[in-house]
Structure 1
Amino acid sequence: MKTIVEAQQIILEHTKKLTAETTPLTESLGRVLSEDVFSNRNHPPYDISAMDGYAVRIEDVTEPTKDDPTVLKIIDDIVAGGEPKCAVTSGAASRIMTGAPMPEGADTVIRVEDTDCNSENVKIFAPYKKGANVRYLGENLRTDDKVLTDGTDIGPGELGILSMVKKAEVPVYRRPRIAILSTGDELEALDEPFNDRKIPDANSYTVMAELKAIGADVTLLGIARDSEAELKAKLKEGLGFDALIVSGGVSVGHHDFVRPTLKSLGIEMRFWRVALRPGHPFAFGTGKDGLLVFALPGNPVSSMVCCQQFIVPSVRKMLGADRLFRTTVTATLTEDIKDRLGRIHFMRSHLEKTEDGFSVRLTGSQGSGILMSMVEASCMIIMPAENDKLPAGSTVAVQLLGPSGFQSEPGFK
């Protein structure tokens, strides 16, 4: 039996980055860069104003107040996309718009809110520091600077930078092609009639969702019933993918055919069983041409936990990403927790913001068949294998789940 870290290491050792391809900029969101990107320009291309206001020399603005303003002569009106007509000299100011180029001689921009003007002069009512409200040449980008690196996830900010350096076609890693197969006579397919004696096949869809969310190209192979011949035929359909995921049939029951059938198809099983709760029967193997095979337990929570801990990091590596694992934070327990020694336990929990950081509480019963516990969870408490209890007030590590970037309130005033 492997520890979770040992199992992750074995899987990642057999996982390779996929080949690179290009995709249009507009289709690159959520993909992973396959090469470094360099700037082809300075941005801003020259010193510009960060505010609507007046471009001045700071030495002309000497501690003005509302009652004793500095008065300067307006000599120019500079718009964004335009050019200054003259330099700013002693006693003068140029009206300037946000994004417009700074005129020669000026070093500071006074916000329009701190001024009053007529057709000839501007009154300045507040003191400023030199350089205020000026964006300098190259402040954002410098020509030939490395701006994004191989392995970067492309989000909205990264996509914006790619557009600024004119990357109409973006180099990215290919999406992994992944097949998912559920097994078992007890399962009811989505398109089959309702049968109150059957168990709906949720695992295909939870695993599909996990992997589609991180950019994989997923194909559902359906359900293989508890027949060695049918299972073998279905498994063969998945051998041409980058990875094959099989749910159910990996334990020690009389009809658990998955592992021996995989072996008969030339799959080398690298390990079976992990010191993990839920998800102990998880297995991993490899086949020809780099094929990865993941065998998940049939219980839906076990299946999801194993997918998050083992398959997601592997798929992230295939995608070329630098960051492979889900984010963890620390939180304070609001209740006592009891457990069994010997296996690391991922306990479905709810995270809440407090004045001192985060607090965390269990969602309720931790049975591996209670899929609703995953719906109600925003995180999972990581209960160490060497602990059988933790008192309220303990600091614990928690792994974030789902759309963890969102919350119901702004969080600021």
Structure 2
Amino acid sequence: MSALLTLEEAQRRLLALAPETGTAPVDIHPRITGNRYLARDMVALRTQPAADLSAMDGYAIAPGRGPWRRVGESRAGAPFGGALEPGQCVRISTGAHMPPGSESVLIQENAQVDGDMVTASELPAPGRHVRKAGFDFRQGDCILARGTACTPATLALAVAAGHANLPLVEPPRIAVLDSGDELVPPGQPCGTHQIPASNGVMLGAMLHPLVGAVEALGPVADDRAALAAALKRAEDSHILVTSGGASVGDHDLIQQALKDWGATIAFWKVAIKPGKPLMVATREASWGRQVILGLPGNPVSSFVTAFLFALPLVRAAMGDASPLPRAVTMRAAEPLPAVGKRREFLRAVSNGGEVRLAGSQDSSALGALAAADCLIDRPAGSPAVSIGEPVCVFALGNG
């Protein structure tokens, strides 16, 4: 039997398969902030600032120690019409053009004014309080790299650089299929041999903030004909996320159903806990490559693998240049045991830089998962951790 893949290797292989969804120019407006990403590098169409500007309210002064005679005013949008001669100054406001012949800005707090004459209680150094032309960016500079997220700041930068629209990667179409004979649709009566189908709702809720609509295909019984019908409905999806049935037991039919559908298994099983029976497959559609991500059926395993694999895959398909979750360091608020051969992700609660377990670490314990706001990352073979020792943590802000 082949060795289990490490988390990093499995993520690398998965992200390399991210489907291409196309690009489109989108007019810049506030609603595109969030989960849209640039399809290509963008260059500045203009220089910012286009001229030397004042960074403070005060007086633009000619070189020298003064006094200076005030000969006019420069306001934002209404520059002084001439050039300064030695011994002259103009009243200037923040963001206004520095007139030719001026050297620095004497801020109003350091200016002593007597009629039209201005003297300095504290002389500014040459160039002081001046925003030089092009200090932010110049025409032709690369201002935003491919894969940059649309944020309020990046939108402002694009507009300042002269752009009215952005080349954005189109969101992928996503379907979620949860399967199992024991599953009952939400709200339906359950026998003692049945459970409510919570995974489809959970996965859809995790993916919805990224792409909006997510097509729900389940719950589906462990039946080859039912699975084939559900997969038929997923033929237009860029990414299909399944939950349950990805193993190779007598009643685990997803792998065979996918093969019957024309999919090829890319890899299977990752050395993590929970989430070992993760499966990745691909299928060639008329419009390109589909990616199928098979998650375990236990709800906590499904959540953790969705966090580590499904969300990064969707971000990568959307053009995100850094799709993987980022860890931070916190202090353990309680002892943690040594780790075995598989990397563990413990459901936990953080508070003031400290972190403690949220409750039961069983892969079916939804109560502890709902209480958790983070995952503690415990590498394989890690020794026991004492109170106060550092641990790596992933915040669970839906990915």
| TM > 0.5 | yes
Which of 48, 55, 58 pairs up with 1:50?
55
- The answer on whether the counterparts of 1:51 and 1:98 sit within 8 Å (CA) in structure 2 is yes
For 1:390, give the aligned amino acid.
V
Q: Shift of residue 57 of structure 1?
A: 3.3
Q: What SS does the aligned partner of 2:308 have?
A: helix
Matches within 5 A, 1:287-302: 287-289=283-285, 290-302=289-301
Matches within 5 A, 1:63-74: 72-74=68-70
Distance 1:85 1:12 in 2: 58
Q: What SS does the aligned partner of 1:59 have?
A: coil
CA 1:25–1:252: 2 relative to 1, 3 Å? same
1:6-60: CA deviation from partner (whole Å, max 9, x where unpaired): 3223323333443222222225423111111111111111111112211113532
Aligned residues between the structures: 390
- The answer on whether the counterparts of 1:279 and 1:302 sit within 8 Å (CA) in structure 2 is yes
For 2:306, give the aligned amino acid.
C
Distance 1:57 1:403 in 2: 57
> Which residue matches 2:341?
342
TM-score by length of 2: 0.88
For 1:51, give the aligned amino acid.
M
- The answer on whether the counterparts of 1:335 and 1:391 sit within 8 Å (CA) in structure 2 is yes
Distance 1:211 1:158 in 2: 24
Which of 81, 101, 118 pairs up with 1:105?
101
Which of 19, 22, 28 pairs up with 2:25?
22
Which of 374, 378, 402 pairs up with 2:397?
402
Q: What SS does the aligned partner of 1:291 have?
A: strand
- The answer on whether the counterparts of 1:76 and 1:86 sit within 8 Å (CA) in structure 2 is no
CA 1:286–1:137: 2 relative to 1, 3 Å? same
Q: Shift of residue 195 of structure 1?
A: 4.9
Q: Shift of residue 123 of structure 1?
A: 4.8
Distance 2:270 2:263 in 1: 19
- The answer on whether the counterparts of 2:53 and 2:131 sit within 8 Å (CA) in structure 1 is yes
- The answer on whether the counterparts of 2:64 and 2:87 sit within 8 Å (CA) in structure 1 is no
- The answer on whether the counterparts of 2:32 and 2:150 sit within 8 Å (CA) in structure 1 is yes
- Listed as ranges, the gaps of 5+ residues in structure 2 are none
The answer to whether 1:258 aligns with 2:254 is: yes
TM-score by length of 1: 0.86
Distance 2:354 2:369 in 1: 18
Q: What SS does the aligned partner of 1:329 have?
A: strand
- The answer on whether the counterparts of 1:55 and 1:110 sit within 8 Å (CA) in structure 2 is yes
- The answer on whether the counterparts of 1:58 and 1:129 sit within 8 Å (CA) in structure 2 is no
For 2:73, give the aligned amino acid.
D
Q: What SS does the aligned partner of 1:280 have?
A: coil
Matches within 5 A, 1:127-146: 127-146=123-142
Matches within 5 A, 1:224-263: 224-251=220-247, 253-263=249-259
Distance 1:194 1:167 in 2: 56
> Which residue matches 1:65?
none
CA 1:45–1:10: 2 relative to 1, 3 Å? closer
Q: Shift of residue 237 of structure 1?
A: 1.1
For 1:333, give the aligned amino acid.
A
1:298-319: CA deviation from partner (whole Å, max 9, x where unpaired): 2222111111212222222222
Q: What SS does the aligned partner of 1:302 have?
A: helix
Select between 325-334 and 206-215 the one with higher mean Cα deviation. Answer: 206-215
Q: Shift of residue 137 of structure 1?
A: 0.7
Q: Shift of residue 142 of structure 1?
A: 0.4
Distance 1:16 1:273 in 2: 21
> Which residue matches 1:180?
176
- The answer on whether the counterparts of 1:175 and 1:217 sit within 8 Å (CA) in structure 2 is no
> Which residue matches 1:392?
387
Matches within 5 A, 1:203-214: 203-214=199-210
Q: What SS does the aligned partner of 1:23 have?
A: strand
Cα RMSD after superposing both structures: 2.5
- The answer on whether the counterparts of 1:348 and 1:373 sit within 8 Å (CA) in structure 2 is yes
> Which residue matches 2:16?
13
For 1:11, give the aligned amino acid.
L
Distance 1:267 1:393 in 2: 48
Q: What SS does the aligned partner of 1:94 have?
A: strand
Distance 1:123 1:374 in 2: 68
Q: What SS does the aligned partner of 1:224 have?
A: coil
CA 1:99–1:260: 2 relative to 1, 3 Å? same
CA 1:403–1:222: 2 relative to 1, 3 Å? closer
- Listed as ranges, the gaps of 5+ residues in structure 1 are 62-70, 405-413
Distance 2:247 2:389 in 1: 35
- The answer on whether the counterparts of 1:216 and 1:315 sit within 8 Å (CA) in structure 2 is no
Q: What SS does the aligned partner of 1:12 have?
A: helix
- The answer on whether the counterparts of 1:48 and 1:101 sit within 8 Å (CA) in structure 2 is yes
Distance 2:354 2:378 in 1: 15
Q: What SS does the aligned partner of 2:36 have?
A: coil
Q: Shift of residue 267 of structure 1?
A: 1.8
Distance 1:163 1:129 in 2: 33
- The answer on whether the counterparts of 1:378 and 1:401 sit within 8 Å (CA) in structure 2 is yes
> Which residue matches 2:366?
371
For 2:102, give the aligned amino acid.
A
> Which residue matches 1:322?
321
